[in-house]
């Protein structure tokens, strides 16, 4: 059994990790750390876990020898937490701290998008889990980059649920503001752009196009829908073939022949793509669950690869459907 520690155990991503890992056949959770809730039963904070995780209390420190730590603390906290993690312990960091600057002391972090770096992840001990928007957008354009087909600017609009802002309340994520409302934010300067550009540039060496990204706050709790378009001279059939061939051996990315919606993927680790074309514009629509394929589900997917398990182990999940 893989012995697991979770640091920063009270937030949305930690809650999703716990829900996945308590049913994972190859995992045992040894420690869940929360300094602010030290000594409390985990199910008193994640109340849906009542009956599933009765006897585990939040700890202050990693109490037992463990194989892997998931870092679920706020952005900017991972270096402080890593000081207390022995070097032999593998790490998956769900913050943005090592997605760009990927080194900390003797640890070298690999960008953990399995559809991009699966074979490298299998040999790695330290993973920087991608951002939710970045996952949705990169999965929409990776096949194009591998064929050096991104020659013009990329335009993106994407809507995320309120859980993308984390559990701590702010003026823009409580119910009375989000309900019956929608808004843009960080237009053309969202923090996930850096990791998107970095990874595209590593694949398509001559990439120098502009990416225009408009994020939206949606009036729903979880999920992301992204719409990407760019100039493209291939036929729609040629483009779809490129995508199908690229994702052939990736179990969580699927190509739909019909228009797609968020409910198809909420509560799953799937990303579904819909590809169409209008004149010279290739349009790719992407949907995923920001807390699963965009965060905790992808972290478990990376864990499976790191420990030579089936990639979908513990991740065969059902969508909410309606």
271 is catalytic: no
Among the listed residues 72, 132, 271, 313, the single catalytic one is 132
Nearest-angstrom CA–CA distance, 194 and 83: 26
| CATH superfamily assigned to domain 132-288 | Dihydrodipicolinate Reductase; domain 2 (3.30.360.10)
Nearest-angstrom CA–CA distance, 81 and 93: 10
CA distances from 6 to 182, 260, 280, 299 (A): 33, 34, 47, 12
Q: What is the pTM of this model?
A: 0.94
Q: How many CB atoms lie within 10 A of CB 304?
A: 23
More confident position, 320 or 228: 228
33-72 pLDDT per residue, tens: 988 888 888 888 888 888 787 788 888 888 778 999 999 9
Given the candidates 3.40.640.10, 3.40.50.720, 3.40.50.2300, 3.60.10.10, the CATH classification of the domain at 2-129+295-306 is 3.40.50.720
Q: What is the mean pLDDT of the chain?
A: 91
pLDDT at position 322:
67
How many Å from the N-terminal Cα to the C-terminal Cα in the chain? 36
* Domain boundaries along the sequence of the chain: 2-129+295-306, 132-288
């Amino acid at each position: 059994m893989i012995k697991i520690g979770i640091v920063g155990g009270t937030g949305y991503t930690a809650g999703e990790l716990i829900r996945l890992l308590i049913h994972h056949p190859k995992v045992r959770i040894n420690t869940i750390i929360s300094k602010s809730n030290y000594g409390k039963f985990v199910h008193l904070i994640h109340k849906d876990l009542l009956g599933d995780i009765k006897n585990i209390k939040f700890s202050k420190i990693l109490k037992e020898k463990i194989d892997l730590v998931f870092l679920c603390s706020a952005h900017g906290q991972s270096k402080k937490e890593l000081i207390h993690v022995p070097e032999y312990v593998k790490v998956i960091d769900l913050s943005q701290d090592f997605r760009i600057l990927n080194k900390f002391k003797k640890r070298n972090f690999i960008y953990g998008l399995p559809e991009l770096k699966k074979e490298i992840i299998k040999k790695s001990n330290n993973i920087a889990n991608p951002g939710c928007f970045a996952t949705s957008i990169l999965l929409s354009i990776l096949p194009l980059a591998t064929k050096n087909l991104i020659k013009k600017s990329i335009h993106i609009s994407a809507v995320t649920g309120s859980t993308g802002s984390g559990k701590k309340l702010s003026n823009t994520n409580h119910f009375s503001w989000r309900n019956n409302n929608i808004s843009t934010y960080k237009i053309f300067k969202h923090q996930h752009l850096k990791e998107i550009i970095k990874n595209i540039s590593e694949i398509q060496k001559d990439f120098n196009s502009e990416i225009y990204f408009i994020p939206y706050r949606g009036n729903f709790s979880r999920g992301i829908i992204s719409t990407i378009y760019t100039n493209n001279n291939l036929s729609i059939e040629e483009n779809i073939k490129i995508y199908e061939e690229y994702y052939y051996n990736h179990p969580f990315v699927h190509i739909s022949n019909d228009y797609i919606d968020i409910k198809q993927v909420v509560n799953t680790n799937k990303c579904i793509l819909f590809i169409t074309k209008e004149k010279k514009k290739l349009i790719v629509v992407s949907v995923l669950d920001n807390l699963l394929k965009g965060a905790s589900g992808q972290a478990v997917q990376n864990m499976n690869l790191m420990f030579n398990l089936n990639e979908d182990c513990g991740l065969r999940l059902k969508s909410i459907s309606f």
